[in-house]
Structure 1
């Protein structure tokens, strides 16, 4: 691990100033991802800016929804009574991720900005376009069982590892940020990037910007939702495929559908055409299968992860069935219902 400066600002303005134009400076809160990357020499910050004393905690009412401060821990967010009542999809996704110890430390902003868990990205001894643009992507044609089937490019096939972000995508959250050019709001669908020709940048933050909060809209899908996470083992594992499904029903007719997938792309994956296809349709397996078929039709597997296509198809149908029935996946008993 390299030597670095350490500062602990007490205001947002001080934090932005401390970041300045230093490309090697990094914000740190819980450090559950950044410290790992530092140990592997993937991240080599010249300065760590500890933001834990900034006034960015708390969950508050905001325009009919809720505003979640960037420093709210994953545990506090998952167990907050307002989240569990109004946004149980988010609570379920958080409880499906990591371990209790990590959820106690991990922050909302940190989860939002965590890096990929690609084997090659973590191995400094191998090329990686995400670490060193232009060096290559050995996952293409290499060990790629956990990698993307949607939105990948010739430069990168890594996936976003977050469970929280899959739920936030389905809930259509908004990310509030500030920086040298002032405040701005970023729709969640626009926050994370696809790799394209430059996979080194995971999100749409501008230099010097910091996340202030994540805003949840008034629509909550409290009754008909599920977060279904399929993985190699039942705990402490990243998703091979996950599904965040939320429905608004009129009897057995679908008024609104929101669907996001995790473990399959460089960002939480939504297909608005599939959501539109479900609108006005009966909440039946046939409707859900049609939506699943539309989504997976654009999948492009790698040499070892073709199984994800059928896994995703079945997970989408199962997730929508759980949501329609009002029987969300139990994150304590992870057997598929």
Structure 2
């Protein structure tokens, strides 16, 4: 691979824009593509993403391209930053357009809706034989775009590609690490969204900091047990892509999933809560897929299951809390750290 490849980022929302700004400032030849031609033209003219990051001035070096074929042509790396429900369709669109040597990366968090498949499985199926990597970690788009200190991690089965992409992202105010556990990195980035709804609900109900800490800790336990059942490495899940992202999303009010929980805990109906947020809330789909994976592996994940029930209107937040608190007393780890409890 070229030492300084052309990078094309697909998705001009908050995170795609933040990553494009970061790499352009790093001296990487970066092109940003988005479906909304008018919004993309306005970004190019004003050097601001008025909808998602209105206070951030974008670097003059960043290029914009509304034609998908033109955007990906000649790219050494294509980085996909679209919602998980649009991920498979995006892969299908670009498959006939990519150059033979183009590598694929994604900063999307979630599963394929309806199947529970991981996004790396879709990449392997639709774009076989290409270097592929996931970019994840505790990173609110607004803070990365503003140049505040942050950290991410890049995981790939191709160690050289993981290190190359991490090098393109690494900056004075952003540390980029690399690893080889794609499944674990994806699981942490997806599952933390569900758990953030739980802590948001608790905070919306004003249950206190003790409740928040308990939910984060027991939620981490659920993530570890599901991860080990799936073959993830525990060290991945207690790193940036798991614990780091979990703490950020459960405690930071920039999190859409936490804000959804806050609204639900305050008695707001789910449709109205989503409308107020105004962006895709990944936990609504992800909760179903976590439940599917838990059932497949015979795991009891009470916090994740409770969030799913609340999101589907099967129980109220109050009743969901009562169900959690009514569970029998037991040792914290009756079967060891990764046993079923």
**Greater share of strand residues, 1 or 2?**
1
TM-score, shorter chain, exceeding 0.5: no
Higher relative contact order (CA 8 A, sep 6+): 1
| TM-score of the superposed pair, with normalisation by structure 2 | 0.29
**Greater share of helix residues, 1 or 2?**
2
